[in-house]
């Protein structure tokens, strides 16, 4: 092979490589855009396995919200631990491995300052009187709960819904001696569902989750209490950026619609 031919082939190889570089760069940009197109939160929500501590009254709606969020953010998986807000606070103080916290009151969240990020209220709720299906005892209002012949169950006073219950009963000067005081609102609802209690004070959304099993007696706004649900990241999280993205998403229009559809009120 002549020296001239060898030089021409070498020059052609260099030229081909030079032309390929900008094409490769363009391809990389396109791939980056395609990767981000699967989720509007792709840049702010890196894939992670998140553990979220959440109030019991959020059980049903958060399972639905998580399904939506996981579809928008491939590679992210959310595991919930549901309990009374006071139990969740105890878990945080004990250093339980978790990434975010959502309580059913601001008082519990405020007691964890220094261990959480800045909380944001994502929803509100109100109480109703849960009764057996068909309301067999014909309970019409809060005053009826003072009937000594009724078996009334409440949440314990350290639980947010228990505190709200005592607040509205005391305001109406209604003396109730509960047959039991439960550790969370779902336990109260269960007692009524199973017929172990004639009535119990629960959140409106909890009663709605048991349609066909319990009836809900409305409490007028002037006699009711408003529960606020703050959400915050936890300082102990090992997935801080992903946790921040999820907490922020809870205030998004899509997440808010899921909460509204479940009966929660606007924050």
Residue 148 forms part of a structural domain: yes
Does residue 30 have a pLDDT over 60?
A: no
Q: What is the mean pLDDT of residues 147-166?
A: 97
Residue 12 forms part of a structural domain: no
Q: What is the pTM of this model?
A: 0.82
pLDDT in tens, 55-85: 999 999 999 999 999 999 999 999 999 999 9
Per-residue b or e along 204-241, where b marks 16 or more CB atoms closer than 10 Å to that residue's CB:
bbbbbbbeeebbbbebeeeebbebbbbbbbbeebebee
Q: For residue 45, what pLDDT is reported?
A: 77
CATH number, position 77 = 3.40.190.10
- The CA distance from 216 to 201, in Å, is 9
Residue 1 forms part of a structural domain: no
pLDDT in tens, 182-192: 999 999 999 99
* Residues with Cβ within 8 Å of residue 181, at least 6 apart in sequence: 153, 154, 155, 156, 157, 162
Does residue 99 have a pLDDT over 90?
A: yes
Residue 32 forms part of a structural domain: no
Q: Is the same domain home to 146 and 182?
A: yes
Closest CA to 46 of 237, 201, 183, 213: 237
Q: For residue 15, what pLDDT is reported?
A: 36
The HSE-up count of residue 255 (CA atoms within 13 Å, CB side) is: 22
Of residues 232 and 17, the one with the higher pLDDT is: 232
Domain count, the chain: 2
Q: For residue 42, what pLDDT is reported?
A: 41
Per-residue b or e along 165-189, where b marks 16 or more CB atoms closer than 10 Å to that residue's CB:
bbebbeeeeeebebebbbbbbbbbb
Average pLDDT, the chain: 87
Q: What is the mean pLDDT of residues 234-243?
A: 96
Q: What is the mean pLDDT of residues 212-237?
A: 97
Q: Is the same domain home to 131 and 181?
A: yes
Give the domain range for residue 54: 49-124+228-261
Q: Is the same domain home to 150 and 208?
A: yes
Q: What is the mean pLDDT of residues 224-249?
A: 97
Q: Is the same domain home to 206 and 244?
A: no
Backbone angles phi, psi at 52, to 5 degrees: -120, 125
Q: For residue 44, what pLDDT is reported?
A: 56
In the chain, the percentage of residues whose pLDDT exceeds 90 is 83
């Amino acid at each position: 092979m002549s020296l001239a031919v060898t030089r021409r082939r070498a020059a052609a190889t260099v030229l081909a490589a030079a032309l390929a570089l900008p094409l490769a760069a363009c391809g990389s940009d396109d791939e980056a855009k395609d990767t981000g197109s699967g989720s509007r939160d792709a840049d702010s929500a890196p894939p992670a396995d998140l553990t979220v501590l959440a109030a019991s009254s959020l059980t049903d709606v958060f399972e639905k919200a998580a399904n939506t969020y996981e579809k928008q953010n491939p590679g992210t998986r959310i595991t919930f631990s549901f309990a009374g807000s006071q139990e969740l606070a105890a878990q945080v103080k004990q250093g339980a491995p978790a990434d975010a916290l959502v309580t059913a009151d601001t008082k519990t969240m405020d007691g964890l300052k220094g261990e959480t990020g800045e909380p944001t209220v994502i929803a509100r709720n109100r109480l109703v009187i849960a009764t057996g299906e068909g309301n067999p005892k014909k309970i019409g209002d809060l005053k009826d709960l003072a009937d000594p012949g009724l078996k009334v169950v409440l949440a314990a006073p350290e639980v947010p819904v228990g505190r709200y219950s005592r607040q509205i009963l005391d305001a109406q000067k209604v003396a109730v001696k509960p047959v039991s005081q439960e550790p969370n609102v779902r336990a109260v609802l269960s007692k009524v569902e199973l017929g172990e209690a004639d009535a119990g004070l629960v959140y409106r959304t909890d009663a709605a989750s048991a349609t066909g099993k319990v009836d809900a007696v409305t409490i007028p706004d002037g006699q009711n209490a408003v529960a606020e649900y703050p959400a915050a990241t936890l300082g102990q999280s090992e997935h801080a950026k992903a946790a921040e993205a999820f907490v922020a998403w809870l205030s998004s229009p899509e997440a808010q619609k899921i909460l509204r559809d479940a009966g929660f009120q606007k924050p």
